[in-house]
Chains A and B, each alone.
Chain A
Amino acid sequence: MSRKFEYFIEKAIFLSGAASIVFVALIFIFLLKEGLSLFSEVNVFSFLFGTNWYPISDPPQFGILPLILGSLFVTFGAIVIAVPLGLGAAIYTAEVAPKSIRGILKSGIELLAAIPSIVLGFIGIIFLGPVLKNIFQLQSGLTALAGSIMLAFMAMPTIVSIIEDAIVSVPKSYKEGSLALGATHWQTIYRVILPAAASGILAAIMLGIGRVIGETMAVLMITGNAAIMPTSFLQPVRTLTATIAAEMGEAVSGSSHYYSLFAIGIILFIISFIINVLADIFMHRGKANR
């Protein structure tokens, strides 16, 4: 009886483990099947590097470069804001803060992660947009910058908690050795602890990027959604994700427009995959060094 039970449990666990791989494979195959159909009509080069996204004009143009750049602008801006803030917050919680404050900060950061992205988008439209509009004298505050700021908040929890883990797992002996040589606390953080945690910090940045680039709802609401080639952060942009979300409902099933949205999905999938692989490499390099 118990042997049968063992057998059953073992198989069940195996199946749940295998399921994740099967799902990823199925999703990717589905994406490929739908997306690749586009390339019988449009060539890959003009898809990736075309500067005009007019999917429903006649003839339609499927250049996603403005969308790729839109995603890159927003992501880059978000990372530039979130990394210094996140690094500072992580150093403070891991190294400087007294125990009581550390607890409060950590739950604060976790709460930030719990805010639904639509709420952040909402705040962006109602509050951040008008503020930016006034500061920079724009026609509309819904710009790449607004998207970057809101997404920075979304990336912060990931970045802070992973960097903090990396800092905490730096062997205590490094710190003691450095302090024993007469280093100040800050010198120790800056010269020993951060370099020792470097791979974790890089991994945190990568996962932050992954979080930001895949985000849809908030950017759809606050980046202004204009599929034009971005030249500045003070201009509306549209990201890859927002394009799919906004247009999937209207695209006629089986049309080139429909296929092109799947092709965008493939591009997103590839980008996320690369980012995850990089993060993984950084994490493992960190472990191998210890």
Chain B
Amino acid sequence: MVENKSEIRNPKSEIKDSKSEQGNKIVTSKLNVWYDGKQALKDISLNVEMNEIMGVIGPSNSGKTSFLETLNRLNELYPGSRTEGQVLLDGKDIFKEIDKHLLRKKVGIVFALPLPLPLSIFDNVAYGPRLHGIKDKKKITELVEQSLKSAAIWDEVKDRLKENAFKLSGGQQQRLCIARTLAVEPDVVLYDEPCSGLDPISTLKIEEAMRELKKIYTQVLVTNNVKQSARVSDRTAFFLMGEMIELGATTQIFTSPKDKRTDDYISGRFG
């Protein structure tokens, strides 16, 4: 259901031929985040490569979600949050050089719980494009179809696009949310434990969709499920207590981690 992928997002090319072509989509340096004075992220410096899936693992409270939400400045919705340090997207400072609404369009996020809007399936996906000023009905219909196909849910919903999104199952709702995120044509897709509430089959479908989406998007996957990161990510970062302990190729992290704490975590000795 995703075979017509390559033709979907060629308008991306104008972004790719900039300097970020050489490799890094996102670079953070000395990123610190506090909530009400409590530090959630400590000096996170890492890079997310173009078109990779980067897995972020770690026990709860390790700052994974904070990290993700800082990347599109959603953390600012919590009163009492404070950010220091730098995050570059395509070489541009997201706090100074990019409008935050545009940033959130470019860096989409899929939340842990599927959270459709109280609209029809079609309108849920069309919501973003309409928001960003697309009025042409044909274009919107196309975008909706493409996005639903990319999220591997088109075949299941194509005959019921007018139904309320809440009628879908949990796994379908989550893929709908992925489609909704894709419909605004982002560069980066962030996933915050996207499969935590889903059954294995839905999880499998979402992982397959992510692998397909690699061709077009840079993806960051935060997961509590260590095995999921091993299955889908190219590189994996291990977070603990707000610090990044280790970042490396997924195979390296899972076979020969350099830090003992990483080893302990992935082999299930704590966390």
Contacts and interface: CB of A to CB of B under 8 A. Distances in A.
Interface of A: 173-174, 176-184, 187, 191-192, 195-196, 289
Interface of B: 72, 74, 77, 101-105, 108-109, 111, 113, 115-118, 127-128, 131-132, 177, 180-181, 184
A195 B105 CA distance: 23
A181 B118 contact: no
Given A173-B115, A192-B117, A195-B118, A179 B77 contact: yes
B118 A183 contact: no
Closest 7 CB pairs of A and B: A182-B105, A173-B115, A182-B104, A181-B128, A182-B101, A177-B115, A180-B109
Contact of A181 (B77, B108, B113, B116): B108
Given A179-B74, A181-B128, A184-B101, 9 more contacts: A176-B77, A176-B115, A178-B127, A178-B131, A180-B109, A180-B181, A181-B184, A182-B103, A191-B131
A92 B108 CA distance: 28
Contacts of B105: 181-182
7 contacts: A173-B115, A174-B118, A176-B111, A177-B116, A180-B109, A182-B131, A192-B117
A196 B166 CA distance: 14
User: Which of A179, A180, A192, A196 has most chain B Cβ within 10 Å?
Assistant: A180
A289 B118 contact: yes
Contact of B101 (A176, A183, A192): A183
Contacts of B108: 180-181
Taking chain A's interface residues, is the majority helix, strand, or loop, or is none over half, making it mixed? Answer: helix
Given A176-B111, A191-B127, A182 B77 contact: no
Contacts of A196: 118
Contacts of B132: 182
Contacts of B72: 180
A132 B102 CA distance: 49
A181 B115 contact: no
A288 B121 CA distance: 19
A102 to B, nearest CB: 13
B101 A173 contact: no
Nearest to A196: B118
A178 B117 contact: yes
B104 A181 contact: yes
Contacts of B74: 176, 179-180
Nearest to A181: B128
A182 B102 contact: yes
A285 to B, nearest CB: 13
Contacts of A192: 117-118
Given A192-B117, A195-B118, A196-B118, A181 B180 contact: yes
B121 to A, nearest CB: 14
A184 B118 CA distance: 18
B164 to A, nearest CB: 9
Contacts of B104: 179-182
Nearest to B124: A177
A184 B132 CA distance: 10
B194 to A, nearest CB: 13
A110 B118 CA distance: 32
B184 A182 contact: yes
A108 to B, nearest CB: 23
